[in-house]
Structure 1
């Protein structure tokens, strides 16, 4: 009995220890004594490098363990500490410093004496002043030109939530995209770590601007406040970001996108055809994961494991599959070869080639651009890149096409009614006038965009909403489940959806993927203007015109030939076997001339493998007579179901895959290159199911399969792998 009690106590202590050590998400709101949310508050775990900042609404999210000490710090307020205990929600109210800091605040309507008393009275006074100043804002703001180094005043008669005067800061591309105060050192935008390294003895003057005093001078970039530092003799004036780092002896370290959001998933395991005879999944034409990974690698950042979706990496590239020769909208192509990463397994490649429809034969388009113009879109790789991207798409439009533009920030509104595609100047002018500012009412924007698309619906045409955003919705329907329900409802209208992702730092990949997946749509991440030109220009037909929807694949492996199989990638596209014939279940869309590739890894019958778990005993009631001649030459049977773009009943296709394998060196270039891309993706995910992780071998195989690369994308992939050898 005594030993039993000791064991129980030990188990209880172990459970307690595991619970204490388990990391979890802590969320909350930071506000001041008047219960006003504080944006830009720094939160970090004491004695670690883990940190976060509050957003526009004072909200934050950070990964922490029980016992961790959270430190809340904000300029003008007393630092506060809070230990993480049982609750996952920690709300903090910060107190202002008791001493008064006199300062001179330069605002868009003059110069005045101010203090650090940013109370509710400040908000009230700002509201009263705002109405009076709007009429005079242009002339008064221009008067600031030259008063403060680095200011550039520009008239903005835009179509965002409200017209405003934009006062931009030269060199704003270097400003951190996180929700933190804007730092200005000798007229030059700087980062927090640069400000922290300045010698206090070199500082001649320090000013803290907040609320209306900040935004009226620095625009939406100053929504979280501004810290303005002037040094003696302006020793940092006109320095670039790199020069400032060098002057302050800062060694640049690639920042990690701690506020980016990706859905976690578990890699597909090997399955036995005896216990899981059917493998069913939806096709995936998206390639956002590859361009996002390319952004990580080009920025010298560690690739986040959950940002890697292997199927999207493989499907970024085009392969030389033949055009369909029958009434179906795509051809089916299969190939079996040796696995490059495991010596005793095989790779089955399944390739679909969509029918290439001439541009003049494509149906008329009814497009609605749904553009995020919120404050988080102000960075150079967001709204400015977005506008240039959309211009590429506009240049592809024909006279029979029409486009409307809906924007959203604190609210949603239409800035361009449906306009003919041949009125390109009108459309481009509307794009040029867009400016960022405010919060992100994503749900309201989606509602208005779909309402516009359905009111102008073209029967038999290409009806599509094109959502362009960083995915950071924080007003209205915000949770992934809310957005999923909203988009599933809108899908019933017959309007397709294309999602274009932009930016970094606060990028919400999980929301973008859900929207595209549930909304009869596709999803691309635009990391530069070259990618915009590829997706929206050169591949316009495949990106914007669906030739088949709800495309599903179901494969039945022959247990006489296959001991085990696993689908590589497509983890969040897997379906239940019964979903294959259920026309109510949504699946992926295939565009004109698009290709889709899927890879299976196969352990042949009779081969020993470390990746196999023990097989169950033979089942009494499912045992069949042994007939070695039945289906002996068949590896698998593959079936497809799809609907026409405006259809509701699916059409089925079937094909036998012969048990015929070739050595990898004799395989097609498409097999070699697609296997190399999948191999690199599995390596980035640190897959436990690949024995060989040599980057040199990946590069070697990719080079062997590098053909038909007129655009240079395959060569670029090889360079990325060569430059990422440090990632094990």
Structure 2
């Protein structure tokens, strides 16, 4: 009898252990398939990822245990405990840093303006997880142009003002640094044209995490709340196939639009090309003549069904832009983020490109800077700088490597270039070697069939450079020209504007992140000091946040 009782007890214990094992395995699987579990801590969580894949560099997949997403303590509302993905398919196009050129042999520097900011917020995402970003994720011009600068509003008929300063180069005191600022005119709210917006939203399975589709929905909700009575919204989604979720609807009916957003769920493959086709067709069918017609694409960039390769998508977008419909691309998420693909599409489509890593960034893009980001003041904006070889022996443009144009493209009105919104500013920096300091390793042999000396009457001129801007009004196809000259009137670095010194700090930071050969005299401490001394008015705290990121880099590299 005692033996039977012992056997029954052993059987009960065995079954109990079996049930516990099954429950534990189920819980483990749930963790593997759930990126974030909600916790009542902070809503503005920034998420990051330690692995990446570049066309030029790759890293092994990494896996981190679940941990709280870092977030500003000032906004304690709601956060997520995020598990870093155990896969590594992020892609970045390789960037080849531009070197010094001689004005005698390459007198013209020509490039398309860039108001994209995706690189800065993406780099911030890596640092928020205590990881240095891959070098190919760093586009210096996008980090410089993330910040607002105190340039004067334009006067007269031109929609732009031009600001130039020159001083010692902080990373090489033998050289000079030229700062060029372009400021777009701010529009009166009464002058804003009605918008026909098509939200093109990726709802494929790869968007099934809290920093993807849920953040997309909240971001679009922010934008909807900013729209006026004359604006209209359509919603197109794509997963295995594309579909029209919401026909063109007046922004007066905000609740209907937000309800349609709330119902979206993620699942399936990613037919991005089909989604783009449908979104542009919907935009065209609801076109507002002389209005703001725009497709807003929100995705992690992981297209894998139908037209999906970068060249195919670029050709498709180039064809679509002829309809006068603009494109805004917003990247989301980590682990399989396709930066290369989205940047290429944006550059091809009369568009701009942002990376949304938090609700705070969504508020910046869709609320604070909404009119600059969602409207177009001028299109095909190009810059061409000619240097005086009598005053400059070498020059190099800092950043803009994938925005360079051929010299003849500047006067070619058929050549596409960047767009700028009302109130947007664009900043570019040139490092120059003053004449008389030699050409060093950059020197080339004298030309055999043509002269290579400065024009005699300009040899002793005080002109350092001549800068030219071409732009088109949104409804025009013929460009207009603005020309300015920078005379030799440099000042001590400490006497320059806060904008000059802060932009130099951001540029230097980007150079260190990229392991630039031109930053061998620069340290993280110098960048931090430069930024701290040039914060200036910082109402939204973005420059203060930059200083924290520099401190993070300093700690990671100590």
Which TM bucket (shorter chain)?
0.7 to 0.9
The partner residue of 1:641 within 465, 470, 473 is 470
Structure with higher Rg: it is: 1
How far apart, in 2, do the equivalents of 1:340 and 1:176 lie? 31
Residue 517 (structure 2) pairs with residue 688 (structure 1): yes
- Structure 2 residue aligned with 1:171: 37
How far apart, in 1, do the equivalents of 2:128 and 2:218 lie? 21
Q: Matches of residues 656-667 of structure 1 in structure 2 within 5 Å?
A: 656-667=485-496
Q: Matches of residues 47-58 of structure 1 in structure 2 within 5 Å?
A: none
- Structure 2 residue aligned with 1:343: 173
- Structure 2 residue aligned with 1:712: 541
Residue 527 (structure 2) pairs with residue 701 (structure 1): no
- The 1:609–1:665 alpha-carbon spacing in structure 2 relative to 1, beyond 3 Å, is farther
SS at match of 1:689: helix
Give yes or no for contact 1:254–1:299 (8 Å, CA) kept in 2. no
1:253 positional shift: 12
Kindly provide the CA deviation profile for residues 68-126 of structure 1, in whole angstroms up to 9, marking residues without a partner as x. xxxxxxxxxxxxxxxxxxxxxxxxxxxxxxxxxxxxxxxxxxxxxxxxxxxxxxxxxxx
1:477 positional shift: 1.0
Residue 330 (structure 2) pairs with residue 464 (structure 1): no
Give yes or no for contact 2:246–2:257 (8 Å, CA) kept in 1. yes
Kindly provide the CA deviation profile for residues 578-609 of structure 1, in whole angstroms up to 9, marking residues without a partner as x. 00011111100010101100001001101157
Residue 257 (structure 2) pairs with residue 427 (structure 1): yes
How far apart, in 1, do the equivalents of 2:86 and 2:267 lie? 25
1:329 positional shift: 1.1
SS at match of 1:592: coil
Please state which structure has a larger fraction of its residues in helix.
Answer: 2
Q: Matches of residues 314-463 of structure 1 in structure 2 within 5 Å?
A: 314-463=144-293
Q: Matches of residues 9-408 of structure 1 in structure 2 within 5 Å?
A: 171=37, 241=66, 258-408=88-238
- Structure 2 residue aligned with 1:503: 333
Which runs of 5 or more residues in structure 1 are unaligned? 1-147, 153-166, 179-190, 195-239, 244-251
- The 1:256–1:573 alpha-carbon spacing in structure 2 relative to 1, beyond 3 Å, is farther
Kindly provide the CA deviation profile for residues 524-544 of structure 1, in whole angstroms up to 9, marking residues without a partner as x. 000000000001001001000
Kindly provide the CA deviation profile for residues 625-652 of structure 1, in whole angstroms up to 9, marking residues without a partner as x. 8736656110011111000111111111
SS at match of 2:218: helix
How far apart, in 2, do the equivalents of 1:192 and 1:306 lie? 19
Compute the RMSD of aligned alpha carbons: 2.9
1:622 positional shift: 1.8
- Structure 2 residue aligned with 1:606: 436
How far apart, in 1, do the equivalents of 2:279 and 2:300 lie? 17
- Structure 2 residue aligned with 1:651: 480
Give yes or no for contact 1:255–1:301 (8 Å, CA) kept in 2. no
How far apart, in 1, do the equivalents of 2:222 and 2:533 lie? 34
How far apart, in 1, do the equivalents of 2:165 and 2:261 lie? 46
How far apart, in 1, do the equivalents of 2:178 and 2:127 lie? 29
- Structure 2 residue aligned with 1:113: none
How far apart, in 1, do the equivalents of 2:66 and 2:458 lie? 72
Which runs of 5 or more residues in structure 2 are unaligned? 1-25, 40-44, 51-60, 69-81
SS at match of 2:537: coil
- Structure 2 residue aligned with 1:671: 500
How far apart, in 2, do the equivalents of 1:292 and 1:465 lie? 22
Give yes or no for contact 2:393–2:438 (8 Å, CA) kept in 1. no
SS at match of 2:240: coil
- Structure 2 residue aligned with 1:723: 552
How far apart, in 2, do the equivalents of 1:259 and 1:151 lie? 22
Residue 389 (structure 2) pairs with residue 523 (structure 1): no
The partner residue of 2:394 within 564, 570, 581 is 564
How far apart, in 2, do the equivalents of 1:574 and 1:149 lie? 52
Q: Matches of residues 530-541 of structure 1 in structure 2 within 5 Å?
A: 530-541=360-371
Q: How many residues align?
A: 504
Relative contact order (alpha carbons < 8 A, sep ≥ 6): 1 or 2 greater? 2
Give yes or no for contact 2:49–2:125 (8 Å, CA) kept in 1. no
- The 1:694–1:537 alpha-carbon spacing in structure 2 relative to 1, beyond 3 Å, is same
TM-score (normalizing by structure 1): 0.66
Kindly provide the CA deviation profile for residues 338-365 of structure 1, in whole angstroms up to 9, marking residues without a partner as x. 1110121111111011100022210000
Kindly provide the CA deviation profile for residues 215-253 of structure 1, in whole angstroms up to 9, marking residues without a partner as x. xxxxxxxxxxxxxxxxxxxxxxxxx9459xxxxxxxx99
Give yes or no for contact 2:48–2:84 (8 Å, CA) kept in 1. no
SS at match of 2:382: strand
1:302 positional shift: 2.3
Give yes or no for contact 1:342–1:691 (8 Å, CA) kept in 2. no
- Structure 1 residue aligned with 2:306: 476
- The 1:149–1:548 alpha-carbon spacing in structure 2 relative to 1, beyond 3 Å, is same
How far apart, in 1, do the equivalents of 2:244 and 2:150 lie? 42
Give yes or no for contact 2:105–2:452 (8 Å, CA) kept in 1. no
- Structure 1 residue aligned with 2:12: none
